[in-house]
Structure 1
Amino acid sequence: MNHRISIIGAPTDIGAGVRGASMGPEALRVANIVPVLEGHGLEVLDRGNLNGPANPWQPPKDGYRHLNEVVAWNKAVHEAVHAELALGRLPILLGGDHCLGLGSISAVARHCRETNKKLRILWLDAHADFNTNILTPSGNLHGMPVACLCGHGPQELIEIGGQVPAISPKWIRQIGIRSVDAGEKRFVHEMDLEVFDMRYIDEMGMRHAMELALATLDINTHLHVSFDVDFLDPDVAPGVGTTVKGGPTYREAQLCMEMIADTGRLASLDVMELNPALDVRNATAEVAVDLIESLFGKSTLMRK
């Protein structure tokens, strides 16, 4: 795994239905993300925060809220993430709401095209984020990034990575899903996304789900993890705008992260939807940093 890490803050809630995710990057810094990672012998550069338009808090237009602002933020994210990858570094994007996954993953996909690598994306989330302007009940773009990455969305968003679609649905594994709109569910099936929802995890266990999600990774695979903090059960992580009961427990989430770390393939990371305005004494940020530490090799046992 790459030991040169770059932290990039994207302080916006432009794609969300609740204000507050714009404060996420600072909360993660307050929870000591930089010193924690440095404690594992990693070289960490904090690149500070990106700039973008303010949140005008308008109703949706043509099924999209704040489309122009979302495009601006995602372009900034795309360029920043791509620049770090080009320098041979491992970018960690601190969100911000999950609409930014579009800018981040389109940059990773572009980097993989340029370096002739395969891409595997783990989407850890309570939601499939596979809505379109026709399917969405809200118009909030944080419910659409996966669909946009697969080429289903407004022209200005799907083109950001320089290739449409930016990714193939076959490259994604969604884990922890438990809240999907009716039309979105049909679309997920149509596109044949691989989804390990909570029912699957309940029946088969997190270990089995992760073994399948990580199967066939090889030395030429770039592994990207897009971690929406609402992946976690709200008892563990109350500080998100879209809590859904019945998510992975703290231990299940730890196992998930440790198994990702064991592959040695992690090459980029998003940490999304942390909302300090809804948190309790920064507890969710601390849990998130704890789990990120496991992604970078903190292990509970003295494993030989």
Structure 2
Amino acid sequence: MPSLDTNGHNGHANGTNGATPKKCESDSPSSLPPTSSIPQKFLSKPTELGVTLVGFSGGQSRPGTDAGPEVLTQAGLLTQLESDLGYTLHGDTHVRNFNAYQPTVTDRDNALSNSSTIDDPDVRGMKNPRSVSAVTEQISELVYAQARAGRLALTLGGDHSIAIGTVSGIARAIRERADTPNDLALIWVDAHADINTPETSDSGNIHGMPVSFLTGLATSSTSGIFDWLQPHHKISTTKLVYIALRDVDAGEKRILRENNIRAYSMHDIDRHGIGAVMDAALAYIGTNTPIHLSFDVDALDPMWAPSTGTPVRGGLTLREGDFICEAVAETGQCVGFDLVEVNPSLSQSEGGVGDTVRAGVSLVRCGLGDTLL
């Protein structure tokens, strides 16, 4: 099987391939997730989920992603995880409304005046930087507590800026736990790379920047604007893998190439198939590395998930998306999972919201060990 080194984003071997996995417990029944025969390598409580429900849309300009967790839970997702997959749930049972941290705007409707004031002015082109920083810092603490307890941390968002919180919280927990390797791998499934720095971003929307802050390619010394991110919150670019990219900004392409980041576009999936791409991605990460899977529903083609803010045609089928989640679950290495960018206020087609929610539910179930047989 070729290594699928494509588009100049080859990365290099991280030295973990073939290493003997370190496990939290023996392969006893108690070390298996519900309904699964796959031992979990880095979860001391594999039958438990730490749930964080994040209602937040401040990382981008379209309202509605704050309602994503609500429609997913109304569709019975959490109930299914308990009754069908057998998990014991901890953490949130109701959506946390983080939109209260968005800036206050006055005189918005005064068309003759240019005196609108925003409590959270742009900094280095970033929109809502203080509110997004405050929200993601809180998310980081919430997710950290669940991951530190040895549970898989499941987060439903919200726009993709929330991953600054989820990934950083899990990275910190992994580094503090004596029973796991120190480094966290991140699989980012998305139509977009979300690795713009404030200086390369055309829009200033922070949901297009989370990976740059998580890898330290973007930093901030401004008080109250991501200055809470410390080395223990961050991941290495050598532990980062992209899947399903198809709408990447020019500045992001340069960042990917200059940092030799492993990235698989839809071109690679079309050429080799999703099975070969996942084999290569997981071989690159290796067998002794905890994995955080961050899945933006816009990675799916809009025919499967139309209710999202930045849809791009030519994406994954639902089965390809499910397969990605299944393949990560089969490793026994997954310690965190985000599903983001479901926006029930946006749909170009009748039934589009229901289609998107059903796709989201399917992705989460597959990522948590549900199988076809």
Please, which of 291, 298, 301 is the counterpart of residue 230 of structure 1?
A: 298
Deviation, 1:218, is 6.0
Q: How does 1:151-162 map to 2 (within 5 A)?
A: 151=216, 152-155=218-221, 158-162=226-230
Which structure 2 residue ranges, 5 or more long, are not aligned?
Answer: 1-39, 41-45, 106-117
Hey, what's the Cα distance between the residues in 2 that align with 1:34 and 1:65?
33
- Give the count of matched residue pairs: 301
Moved more, 220-229 or 230-239: 220-229
Give the counterpart of 1:36 among 80, 85, 89.
Answer: 80
| 1:195 alignment partner in structure 2 | 263
Please say which of residues 46-55 and 122-131 is displaced more in the overlay. 46-55
* Residue 50 (structure 1) aligned to one of 72, 76, 96: 96
Match of 1:67 among 129, 148, 168: 129
- Name the residue aligned to 2:280: 212
Aligned to 1:262: 330
1:296 aligns with 2:368: yes
**Given the two structures, how large is their TM-score scaled by the length of structure 1?**
0.93
Superposed CA RMSD in Å reads: 1.9
Q: Which whole-Å CA distance do the structure 1 matches of 2:214 and 2:71 have between them? A: 28
Letter in 1 for 2:204: G
TM-score by length of structure 2 reads: 0.76
Match of 2:4 in 1: none
Partner residue, 2:149:
87
Instruction: Using the TM superposition, give the Cα deviation of residue 139 of structure 1 relative to its aligned residue in structure 2, in angstroms.
Output: 0.3
**Aligned match for 1:245, one of 310, 313, 318:** 313
Q: Would the aligned equivalents of 1:222 and 1:267 in 2 still touch at CA under 8 Å?
A: yes
Residue identity in the other structure for 1:141: I
**Larger Cα-atom Rg:** 2
Residues 71-126 of structure 1 show CA distances to partners (whole Å, capped at 9, x for unaligned) of 11101100000011122222111111101101111111111211252321110100
User: 1:255: how far off?
Assistant: 1.7
Q: Conserved in 1, the CA contact under 8 Å of 2:126 and 2:206?
A: yes
State the distance in 1 between where 2:212 and 2:169 align. 16
2:290 partner SS: strand
Q: Select between 158-167 and 63-72 the one with higher mean Cα deviation.
A: 158-167
8 Å CA contact retained: 2:346, 2:353: no
Q: CA deviation at 1:29?
A: 0.3
Q: Give the distance between the partners of 1:213 and 1:271, measured in 2 at CA.
A: 20
The residue type equivalent to 1:293 in the other structure is R
Q: Which runs of 4+ in 1 moved over 6 A?
A: none
Determine whether 1:26 maps to 2:70: yes
- Superposition pairs for residues 75-114 of structure 1, below 5 Å? 75-114=137-176
Judge conservation of contact 1:158–1:166 (CA < 8 Å) in 2.
no
Provide Cα deviations, 1:196-221, integer angstroms capped at 9, x if missing partner: 11111111111111011111656642
Q: How far is 1:17 from its partner? A: 2.5
Q: CA deviation at 1:191?
A: 1.5
In the alignment, which residue of structure 2 is the partner of 1:145? 210
Corresponding residue number in structure 2 for 1:282: 354
Distance in 1 between residues matched to 2:273 and 2:337, nearest whole Å: 24
Which of 51, 62, 65 aligns to 1:7? It is: 51
Q: Higher helix fraction: Structure 1 or Structure 2?
A: 1
Distance 1:95 1:256 in 2: 19
Greater displacement, 268-277 / 208-217? 208-217
Unaligned 5+ residue runs, structure 1? none
In 2, Cα distance between the equivalents of 1:220 and 1:206? 23
> 1:75 is aligned with what amino acid?
E
1:54 Cα deviation after fit: 3.9
**Helix, strand or coil: the match of 2:283?**
coil
Matched, 1:175 2:222: no
Change in Cα spacing, 1:163 to 1:51, as seen in structure 2 (3 Å) is farther
**Structure 2 counterpart SS, 1:224:** strand
User: Equivalents in 1 of 2:285, 2:258: separation in Å?
Assistant: 25
Distance in 1, matches of 2:225 and 2:245, equals 24
